[in-house]
Amino acid sequence: MAAEAAALDEDATVALADSTEMQERQKEENMTVDLEAPPPAAPEDFAIRCRDVCRSYSKLKVLSHLNLTVPQGQIYGLLGPSGCGKTTLLKCIVGTLKISQGHITVLGRPPGFPGHDVPGKKVGYMPQDLALYSEFTISDTLTFFGRVHGLTAKETRARMDFLIDFLDLPQKQSLVRKLSGGQKRRVSLGAALLQNPELLILDEPTVGVDPVLRAKIWQHLVEIVKTGKVSVIITTHYIEEARQANVVGLMRNGHLLAEGPPDEVMKQHNATTLEHAFLQLCQTHDQVDSKRGSSPQGALLENSQSFESGRDESRPILAIGAGAEEEVPKYSVDWKVRARHLLPKWRNIVALMIKTLVRMKRMPGSLCFQFVLPVIQISLICLCVGGDPRGVQVAVVNNETSPSAYSLTLLSFLDNTSVQQVPLSHTEAFDGIQNGEYWGVIGFGKNFTSYLTKRMMQRQVSREVVDGGSVHVWLDLTNRQIALMLQKKLHEAFQDFVDNKLGSMSYLVSLPVKIEEPIYGDENTDFTTFVMPGAVLSITFYLAVGLTALSFVLERKEGLLDRCWVAGVSSMETMLAHLLSQLFVISVQIVLLLLFILLAFNMPNEGSLVLVIILIVLQGVTGISFGLVISAAIDDEQSANQAALGVFYPNLILSGIIWPVECIPYPLRYLSLALPQTYASEALRCIMYRGWGLSQMMVWRGFAVTLGWNTFFLVLATVILKLRT
């Protein structure tokens, strides 16, 4: 289009030289036409009527006081250079973009008016982007839109056969992603034509289409409008093909420069082609602009949006129908219709769910990966986190030589799988620990056996006897877990040694602190047991976030969300359909997760398995809804990924999943308690390890907080999606 515009500009220089006089005449003529415009027609005479429409993207004013009228039962060719605002205008007409000023009526009502089928089945929209699901076949694509529009399977099949033949499409089982660019555009056009809509909005449908098919498409459009019941608005880069339209609108810089039958537009400008007519209009417009810029009254003229002649610039040179100053019609609607409009339609939800499931089916590798990923993650946690360190090298300096020495007996009770003993001299051992070769040094004095015997048998012994009868341990405390394990293993070995040597008299040397049978849990409960419930919730939550966070972002980017909305799908339906179809995925994930943790890793579950499942599913829903919030609020994949990853680590740390919440300092603890997984992890631990039910506050609190977050995220995502359309 840029090249086209450049060519136009070159032609313009030549044309400008001999046409100044002609332009003056034309301006006068335009004014005459304006004055002679027919009286306002009835609303039913118009398919689309835009009055005083303004729309900006932040500071960029794209549509400026634009008036446009598409007569009922006619083809309207909307022409203009690249970036002049055609697509923006079409998006405003179908209701996917809000206008900041003015009003638009489409088929008698504003788009999105309760009970009005625009967006919906009355309108067929072919966006400029392909907006097709690449994993779908042609048949899937048309079936999906058929379902959304409420067509029966038979109707869809009949239309599909016609469209495949008419648009010269390949076999209906062909995958969209394997089609050529032109074929994809034709599928996209087919989807717009599918339900025989009353209004067709086609954004450059003939780009990349060969001239024969282009002619055929135009012929079809001409035929369908003949009934008088179908209207078409079409944008095209091939200006001359728009001569087949009944009306053309020439747009530039967000204004409609002219609007009228192509022949009249050409006649008005003494042009033999539409392209020339357009060129002349642009020049007139530019001249007015430059005069306005140099004129002292420039600012005034800008404000009043007027041509030099005093004509309202926002109004077309050739006007059809009423002007901008007409009254805005008032529409009312029954509350029942309004309520029905707000309620989600099951038909659309089912269509969207089937769509998601078909897409999943077409990517079996990715689906299987999604199913096994949580199992891999939880297996890694169970295998690698919280267990006892193994093969930890410890230097042993034993100054006793006798084979019956107690030191040797004691060392024989040391767990060999965890602690690997390396007998060394005193110097070698301390050099080794200094060099980081050993995690500790265990030392026995040469009189260890006799001093220990004395210590155990006699009531009063000297400090030297106590010292010589003790095992001396030097530790490298840089790794706390290994150091704690070594201390624990030494205590256990000593206890076994005492039991072995003293038998029933061993109680004589026991510590005056007795740890009784645990109330809950097991004496050998390891850190894995603590981590596991929180880890299960966290894995379910984050996989669900991952499944959803990019879904809308990609669909929005590819124009699929817009296309679905124009087909009549609401944001709430999109949300619910995503939620329900992702629930299927997380249900499989949860079943596999539970099978692994309960059967393969033998994690205890003292409570109700039903409660465990419900809590994990609810956490999955929290993840999905949080993913939906990210998806709804963020436009590009990179930022969406960053948002999802950014919350992962803080949430993991603050939720008390890998370390107890009791270690978190105030006031960070309050934040921790408000997070979705803190009380939920605690509740899951209480159910699984204490066997508690919903009557316990620590359990129901976990459920309540999870449900609260679910509701909050879902409402937030729906509101954001709604606000952004």
Ligand X SMILES: Nc1ncnc2c1ncn2[C@@H]1O[C@H](COP(=O)(O)OP(=O)(O)OP(=O)(O)O)[C@@H](O)[C@H]1O
Residues forming contacts to ligand X in the complex (CB under 6 A) are 1, 57, 60, 62, 80, 82-88, 128
Question: What's CA 709's distance to the chain center, in Å?
Answer: 18
Q: How far is the CB of 1 from ligand X (least distance, A)?
A: 5
Query: Please, which residue, 125 or 439, has the CB nearer to ligand X?
Result: 125
Q: How far is the CB of 96 from ligand X (least distance, A)?
A: 11
Angle between helices 2-17 and 274-294 (to 10 degrees): 80
Query: Please, which residue, 127 or 443, has the CB nearer to ligand X?
Result: 127
Query: Please, which residue, 237 or 501, has the CB nearer to ligand X?
Result: 237
d(CA 225, CA 202): 14
Closest CA to 236 of 114, 344, 81, 420: 81
Q: How far is the CB of 203 from ligand X (least distance, A)?
A: 7
Q: How far is the CB of 482 from ligand X (least distance, A)?
A: 56
Q: How far is the CB of 358 from ligand X (least distance, A)?
A: 29
Residues 6+ apart with CB under 8 A from 404: 449
**Hey, which residues does 54 pair with through a beta bridge?**
101
Query: Please, which residue, 253 or 631, has the CB nearer to ligand X?
Result: 253
d(CA 266, CA 586): 62
Query: Please, which residue, 27 or 252, has the CB nearer to ligand X?
Result: 252
Q: How far is CA 560 from CA 88, 96, 504, 553, 566, in A?
A: 16, 12, 79, 10, 10
Closest CA to 477 of 423, 440, 441, 424: 440
Q: How far is the CB of 60 from ligand X (least distance, A)?
A: 6
Tokens of residue 269, six digits:
């400008």
d(CA 448, CA 407): 7
Closest CA to 202 of 214, 211, 212, 169: 214
Query: Please, which residue, 62 or 132, has the CB nearer to ligand X?
Result: 62
Mark out the alpha helices in 45-117 (DSSP H runs): 86-94
Angle between helices 571-594 and 609-633 (to 10 degrees): 140
HEC per residue, 301-366:
HHHHCECCCCCECCCCCCCCCCCCCCCCCCCCCCHHHHHHHHCCCHHHHHHHHHHHHHHHHCCHHH
Q: CA torsion angle for 655, 660, 661, 664 (degrees, to 10)?
A: -110
Query: Please, which residue, 198 or 204, has the CB nearer to ligand X?
Result: 204
Query: Please, which residue, 562 or 573, has the CB nearer to ligand X?
Result: 562
Query: Please, which residue, 86 or 269, has the CB nearer to ligand X?
Result: 86
Residues 6+ apart with CB under 8 A from 46: 69, 70, 71, 72, 105, 321
Query: Please, which residue, 96 or 677, has the CB nearer to ligand X?
Result: 96
Residues constituting the chain? 725
Query: Please, which residue, 80 or 197, has the CB nearer to ligand X?
Result: 80
Query: Please, which residue, 396 or 632, has the CB nearer to ligand X?
Result: 632
Q: How far is the CB of 559 from ligand X (least distance, A)?
A: 11
Q: How far is the CB of 112 from ligand X (least distance, A)?
A: 19
Q: How far is the CB of 88 from ligand X (least distance, A)?
A: 3
In the 8-state DSSP scheme, what is residue 175?
A: B
Residue 46 parent element (H or E): strand 46-57
Q: How far is CA 77 from CA 4, 212, 245, 422, in A?
A: 18, 19, 6, 89
Residues 6+ apart with CB under 8 A from 95: 106, 111, 112, 118, 119, 565, 566, 725
Q: How far is the CB of 128 from ligand X (least distance, A)?
A: 6
How many other β-carbons are positioned within 10 Å of the β-carbon of residue 527? 14
Q: How far is the CB of 636 from ligand X (least distance, A)?
A: 12
Q: How far is the CB of 8 from ligand X (least distance, A)?
A: 14
Query: Please, which residue, 99 or 411, has the CB nearer to ligand X?
Result: 99
CA R_g for the chain: 39
CB 284 within 8 A of CB 277: no
Q: How far is the CB of 253 from ligand X (least distance, A)?
A: 9
Query: Please, which residue, 56 or 528, has the CB nearer to ligand X?
Result: 56
Closest CA to 249 of 77, 102, 87, 52: 77
Q: How far is the CB of 252 from ligand X (least distance, A)?
A: 10
